[in-house]
Each structure stands twice: as structure tokens, then as C-alpha cells.
């Protein structure tokens, strides 16, 4: 009886040590993967994606305006709620901001994505991520995910989930002011 109790205690201690050791490795792996995110202060990955007419469009890199990239899917409830705000932002900031909606077509149905665009009356460029390259490169793990990229190609904001139009306006206005200040000082 005593021997079996000692044996059970030893097994429990060893199992606990193994779990503790693996937990540390998982935390390290998670931290490493988070470091790989295109995040504020780092250069946005560049890629080419087709629009709804199969015309290739460049995402990332240097450009003349701020770029708001919005990853979405037609089955995503928060994306549906956010879509009218994205359209309003595109209309309001059109001369100062490019807005690309990137449909996660590899996780969606293209026909439903196209219907979503029509139903939501979206007029800004919609790009199709048919092979998942964009969502992989930008490490998108929730929808919507949006990135605000400055004219130098640097990610300035990364937003997971939907936020209000007012919050977007505050973020965009802040970075437009920074861009204007930088261009007037050079």
C-alpha cells in the first residue's frame, strides 16, 4: 500500500513537471508567433491580389496616401455591421485615404462575397484572397482585421474586430495629421 502511494506521488510529480515544461515552450512559441505579426511600427508585407474584375492590385509598399486594409468574409457578422462604416470612410476620406476590402475568399464562397459587396453597396476596391496568401502574410486570425498603413508602407494601426466609424475617424485623422506634419517638415 505504501509503495503504491509513493509510486502514485512520483508519477504525479513527473506528470506535473512535464506539463510545466511544455507550457513554457507553448508560451515561447506563442510569443514568437506574435512577434511575426505585421504590427504597428513595422513594414507592411507587399503582395498582389486580384480585384473583382481580376485586375491585379498592390497591397502594402509606399504610396501617396494612407492605406486602410480591411480583411473580411461574407459570413462574418461583425463584418456585415462594419461594412456601411467602411463605405462611409471611403467616401469621406477618398482624396486622402485608399481603402481596400480584402475578402478571405479561401475561407469564403466567392459568389457570396460578390453578393455581399452588392448588398452592402461597396464602391471601394474589393480584392479577392483566393489562395489565402494575404491572410497568411498578414497573420489574420479573426474577421474583420484592419490595418492602417502610412505612405511609407509602415503599419500604424492593427485592429482586430469591428470598431465604430467615430473611432476610425479619430485614428485616420491622427495619422493624416502625422503624415501632413512629416511632409511639411521635409
| Average pLDDT per consecutive 10 residues, the chain (186 residues; last block may be shorter) | 64 57 48 62 96 97 96 98 98 97 97 98 98 96 97 96 98 96 82
Write down the pLDDT at residue 182.
87
pLDDT number for residue 28: 45
In a domain, residue 84? The reply is yes
- Is the Cβ–Cβ distance between 65 and 148 less than 8 Å? no
Does 41 reside within a domain?
no
Q: Are residues 23 and 74 in the same domain?
A: no
The enclosing H or E element of 110 equals helix 110-120
84, 166: one domain: yes
Same-domain pairing of 15 and 84: no
Amino acid at each position: 500500500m505504501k509503495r503504491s502511494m509513493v509510486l502514485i506521488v512520483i508519477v504525479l510529480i513527473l506528470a506535473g513537471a512535464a506539463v510545466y515544461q511544455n507550457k513554457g515552450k507553448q508560451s515561447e512559441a506563442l510569443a514568437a508567433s506574435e512577434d511575426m505579426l505585421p504590427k504597428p511600427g513595422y513594414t507592411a508585407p507587399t503582395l498582389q491580389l486580384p480585384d473583382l474584375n481580376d485586375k491585379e492590385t498592390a497591397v502594402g509598399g509606399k504610396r501617396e496616401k494612407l492605406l486602410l486594409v480591411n480583411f473580411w468574409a461574407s459570413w462574418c457578422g461583425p463584418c456585415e455591421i462594419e461594412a456601411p462604416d467602411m463605405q462611409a470612410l471611403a467616401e469621406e476620406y477618398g482624396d486622402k485615404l485608399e481603402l481596400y476590402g480584402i475578402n478571405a475568399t479561401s475561407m469564403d464562397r466567392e459568389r457570396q462575397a460578390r453578393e455581399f459587396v452588392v448588398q452592402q453597396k461597396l464602391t471601394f476596391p474589393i480584392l479577392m484572397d483566393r489562395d489565402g496568401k494575404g491572410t497568411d502574410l498578414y497573420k489574420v486570425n479573426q474577421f474583420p482585421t484592419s490595418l492602417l498603413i502610412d505612405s511609407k508602407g509602415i503599419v500604424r494601426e492593427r485592429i482586430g474586430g469591428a470598431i465604430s466609424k467615430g473611432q476610425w475617424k479619430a485614428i485616420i485623422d491622427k495619422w493624416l495629421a502625422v503624415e501632413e506634419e512629416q511632409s511639411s517638415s521635409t
